[in-house]
Every structure is written in C-alpha cells, then in structure tokens.
Structure 1
Amino acid sequence: MTQLNPLTVAVQMDPMEGIRIGGDSTFHIMLAGQARGHRLYHYLAPDLTYRDGRVLAKARPVKVQKVEGDHFVFGEPEMLDLGRDVDVVLMRQDPPFDLSYITATHLLERVQEETLVVNDPASVRNAPEKLFVLDYARFMPPTMITRDLEQVKSFLAQHGEIVVKPLYGNAGNAVFHVGRSGANLSALVELFNASWVEPFMVQAFIPGVAEGDKRIVLVDGEVAGAVNRIPGAGEIRSNLAVGGSAAKTVLTERELEICEALGPELKRRGLLFVGIDVIGGEWLTEINVTSPTGIVSIDAFNGTNTGGMIWDAIDARLAARAAA
C-alpha cells in the first residue's frame, strides 16, 4: 500500500532513554513510520490531561535513529490535543496492567471518534492477556485462576507439575514451576496472595517449553511472522527479557488453526498489533495486546518488514474511516 500523506503520530510509551533499540518493537515501528515521513511525538501515560472535554498530552517531537546510545533527539515540549492535532496515537507503554494503565485507556477512548488509537483502547482494557485467552480455552493447556490453596493442591495432584504466574505480570516476571512434590507450594500461594489483590493463574506444566515458546505476531488479524524463544539453561521462562534466545521458526498446522480462529475477532476489536504465545506447537498460553514484542527478531530471521506492515494496516484503517 502506498502512503499518500505523512501522518502526525503521538506515541504513548516508556521513557526513550531506557529502551533497548536492538529488540524494542516500538522503536522498530517508529523507525518504519519516520521512514515514511511521519512526524513523531513521544509522551508518557502520566503526561495525559483531560480538560474541558478534550484529552491533551504534553509531548515532545522526536527523531529516532538506529545508533546505540544516541538513538533519539527530542524537540521542545508541546501540548497536543490528541483529538485535533494528531492522526494516530500508538498506545505502547509496557504493563503492569494496573489502574494507571486502565485510566489511560479510558482517556484515550475519548479521542477515538477523531483520532485512530492503536490498539483500540477499549479493546485493550477488555482483553487482558491472561483473561482474553480464556475465550479460546479449547487451545489452552489445563488452566485455573484462583486464590485458593486447596484448589491449587488439587490441580497439582491432577496434573503432576504446574506453573504459577501473576494474572497481570509481564516479561516472564514471577513465573514459577512447581514439581510433583509440591515443595514450597503453600508458601508460594501465601506470597502471591500477599503481593497481589487479584487471583493468580495456574497451568499444567508443558514439557515442550524446553523446545521453545513461540511468539506469533498478527497484524490486523493476519499472521505477520513468528519467532521461537528458547529458555536459557535451568529456566522454564523463554522471554528474551529474562535470558531466552530467539530462533527462526515456521508455524505448525495447529498454530495456523489457532491464528485462523483468533484473527477475525482481533480485527473486529481493533487489535491491530497482537502477539500470541504458543508452547509445543499446540498450546496457546497468552494473547498479548498491550505492547507486544518480537517483530525485530521476526524481521531479522525472515527478511520481512513488520513495522511497514503495521503502518500499511494503519493506512487501511484511516482510509476506511475517511470513507465511512
């Protein structure tokens, strides 16, 4: 698709200073947008203001370049009206998916009639990664969400080995493997219940995780590519942020079936950039809609341009809105 007009794009993300440009998907998308002539602004979620019916953001124009340690240049801050001054808002800050995150989705939802927000903020709010996936339980390993120790003990007895993880965690943080003996299970449940007010997720352990946890990226409901993330020595977590390594991969028939089942609903909900996680070629564990990653590795292995695909999908969405 040919880009006809440069866009003004506000990117709601984490601080530019802290991103790792070698693997950061948001930076990858910004580079692709800048290459098309788009004007980029950067702001943090706390920079949002609602005033007199308008949603504003104190944002700084930014230019990006793929130079480690010198990857961005800011201009002077401006107060942007996100409904009138920009064409697209990219909501790309990392979780935790907490009340601050949810509040930002409510504010951005108020500009949706005027400005395209990617991903759709109401859909992001209503599709937490470890809860939205329950709509596709037929593809999931045995799963339980609870705060009840006796339920967890029963689940462990049934499945032999389990994984316990926070319901709103990210990047592999606080993911525990519990073996058949159940050693320290009671203490672990106590820790989770003391640390989080919400229940936690328990799943049957899938030995196939040793061969990798595949991240599959879908752009507007269509498969853009995949990367296999292999756990480091002594780990069950394959997240690249905790030492996993990336490997080239292809999709199994089961994974294609999963993508075909999810694709139309993702598109309908305005979830334009989504990353799903599949273990052992068949077990769907998460649907990541907040700030999915993986496209840098996918493009490096496959010679693709997923950032460009995302901008093509944005162009198509904007054209459809203009024609409506």
Structure 2
Amino acid sequence: MIHIVPKPTDTPDDNSTGAVMRELERADARYGVLDLGAVNSLDSGLENELIWVCGIRQDGHQFETLNVLSLNNRVINTPESIVACASKVMTTALLLANNVRTPETVYTQSEGQARQFLQRHGKIVYKPLYGYDGNGIRLVTGPGELGPGPWYLQEYVKNDRDFRVFVLGGEAVGAIARVSDTLMHNIHQGGIGMPVAIDEEMRATAEAAAAAIGIDYCGVDLLLDREGYTVLEVNGTPNWHCMAAPIPKLLARYLIEREREMRA
C-alpha cells in the first residue's frame, strides 16, 4: 500500500496530489492518505511501508515526524532531500560539491562581504533562504537595498526566461520554459509556462543536479547563460504546471514500482 502525504497548498483547481491519486486508481494500486498531524511517529504502526510526500508544511513537527518514519519505511522524497531543497544554501553547497554549475553565490552574516559581492557584480539577486514560489526574491543594485542580514545573494544573470525540468528516478522526463518581463519567472509570480524539448545539455545539467541532492524526483530550475545551463535551485516538492509530459502518470508508475520492489 502507498501512504500519501498530500500537498498542503493543493486547491480544487490545482491539485497535484489528486492528479497522482487518479493515476494510482487507474492502475488499481492501493493507497491511503497519511495525516502527519494525527501520527504519533514513535508508535505509528507503520513499518516497511512506502510513504509518498507530495508536500509538507515548513514546520518542525512535520520534518521530525517524517525523519522518524523514514527509519522503518521508504519515504519518497526522503526527509533529508526535502530539507536540502528547502534550504537554498544547502542546495548550493551540494551543487558546488558535485561540480554542478550554479550562479556565483554568497551566504554571509557579514555586511562587508555582502557589499563586496555587490560591488564585484554591480547587480545581484537577494533570495530568502527558505522561500518558495518566488516570494521575497528581489534585485539589489545598491548597498542601501541589501536590508538586514544574513544574506543569501546570487550574481544576476540577464535573462527573459528560465526552465523547469522535472527529473524522476534520475531521468529528465519533462520541461517547460517560464517567460515573464520581471525578475521572477515563477508561474505563481505571473510567469507563462510552455512545454519545451529537453536538449542534451539541459538533460545532463538537470540530472546532475538531482543526483547531487540525492532525490527521487524534483523540479530543477535552470537559466541559460553564455556558458550554457546553470542551476538556480532544486525543488523537492515540485509542481508540474504546463508540462506536456504525463507527470502524474509517470510519478504514479514510479511509486508503484518502488512499492513492488519492497515486496519482492
């Protein structure tokens, strides 16, 4: 049986969890909904089960509950990989450690270092460490715009679009371009998504990013600069808006296969 933790941001018009549930039903796969708020993780009764985390709230209780459940169960995505993706600085550190291209970045409490980084690049991007859906991202062009630290800052890469690549089981299976006339191309910030073909460099970069995080599936956000694709971030509970690829069906099949492997 597949135990499902629904995405808390699902709505009737945008229901990622429900889309995968429908595909599981078509495949006659058994599943149930797991309410992390109603689980005593130290005595859950769950052992050697597959738990799919479509999404969680960014709070300590849900992270800790999943961590404990992962001791005796197969959790997709793992708590460690979700936490790594939730933290932009940890994502960047893992990308750098695995030689995956990402914009030059600094994470510092030192205002002097932040100012030096700004002076070197002239124009930089401030991002909240635990932000989502493009919230709080802003362009910084002068020291007075830095705001309070600590600062997670990236060099500004001039662009009019970014790319979201969906990687499942180590393989890039779908991609979109997100276009806007603002700094953020995220669809929740007004970007327009359209399916695109996955070229070989895009595939290699996205798959390398997923491998660096050590994650079952993810959305890898890329920019195209003069040297090729560079990784902005990796999303551990991704949406798949506008993708032509049948992501819910592919994801349901992946969950079914992993659950069968556990029973073999």
Unaligned runs of 5+ in 2: none
The aligned counterpart of 1:103 is: 64
CA distance in 2: counterparts of 1:178 and 1:241, whole angstroms = 21
Q: CA deviation at 1:286?
A: 0.7
- 2:24 corresponds to which residue? 33
Structure 2 letter corresponding to 1:173:
N
Distance 1:200 1:82, change over 3 A: farther
> Which residue in 1 is equivalent to 2:137?
175
**Aligned equivalent of 2:102:** 140
Root-mean-square deviation (CA, aligned residues, Å) is: 2.5
Secondary structure, aligned partner of 1:140: coil
Q: Aligned ranges for residues 1-324 of structure 1 at < 5 Å? A: 8-15=1-8, 19-50=10-41, 53-55=42-44, 81-83=45-47, 87-96=49-58, 98-112=59-73, 116-130=74-88, 131-137=90-96, 138-179=100-141, 182=142, 184-186=144-146, 188=147, 190=148, 193=149, 199-208=150-159, 210=160, 212-231=161-180, 233=181, 235-262=182-209, 264=211, 269=214, 271-280=215-224, 282-289=229-236, 291-294=237-240, 296-298=241-243, 302=244, 304-323=245-264
> C-alpha displacement at 1:24, in angstroms?
3.7
The Cα of 1:141 is off from its aligned counterpart by 0.8
Deviation at 1:260, TM superposition (A): 4.2
Pair 170,315 (structure 1): closer, same or farther in 2 beyond 3 Å: same
SS in 2 for 1:173: coil
Whether the aligned pair in 2 keeps the contact of 1:274 and 1:288 (CA below 8 Å) is yes
Contact residue 210 and residue 234 of structure 2 kept, 8 A: no
User: Shift of the alpha carbon at 1:215?
Assistant: 0.7
- Secondary structure at the residue paired with 2:130? coil
CA contact (8 A) 2:115 2:143 kept: no
3-state SS, counterpart of residue 283 of structure 1: strand
Residues 226-266 of structure 1: CA distance to partner in whole angstroms, max 9, x if unpaired? 111123x4x21111112211112123443222134245556
Shift of 1:111: 3.2
Distance 1:43 1:111, change over 3 A: same
Cα distance in structure 2, aligned partners of 1:274 and 1:251: 15
CA-CA distance at 1:19 after TM superposition:
2.3
1:264–1:167 CA distance, 2 compared to 1 (3 A): closer
User: Shift in Å at residue 176 of structure 1?
Assistant: 1.0
- Give the Cα–Cα distance (whole angstroms) in 1 for the partners of residues 93 and 234 of structure 2: 10
| CA spacing shift, 1:276–1:297, aligned 2, 3 Å | same
37-46 or 156-165: which moved more?
37-46
Gaps (5+ residues) in structure 1? 1-7, 56-80, 194-198
| Equivalent AA in structure 2 for residue 272 of structure 1 | D
Q: Residue 200 and residue 24 in structure 1: after superposition, are their counterparts in 2 closer, same or farther (change >3 A)?
A: farther
TM superposition score normalised by structure 2: 0.85
Deviation of 1:94 after TM superposition, in Å, equals 4.1
2:143 & 2:85 partners in 1: Cα distance?
33
Q: Check whether the contact 1:214–1:228 (CA below 8 A) recurs between aligned residues.
A: yes
Within 1, Cα distance between the matches of 2:15 and 2:112? 41
Cα deviations by residue, 1:170-229 (Å, 9 ceiling, x for unpaired): 1111111112xx16324x2x2xx4xxxxx4420001111x2x121100111111101111
C-alpha distance 163-285 of structure 1, shift in aligned 2 (>3 A): same
Output the TM-score relative to the length of structure 1.
0.71
Give a deviation string over 1:143-190, Cα, whole Å, max 9, x none: 1111222211110111111111111111111111112xx16324x2x2
Q: 1:42 to 1:205 in 2, by over 3 A?
A: same
- Write the distance in 2 (CA, Å) between the matches of 1:184 and 1:31: 51
* 2: CA distance, partners of 1:265 / 1:134: 10
Q: Report the AA paired with residue 185 of structure 1.
A: E
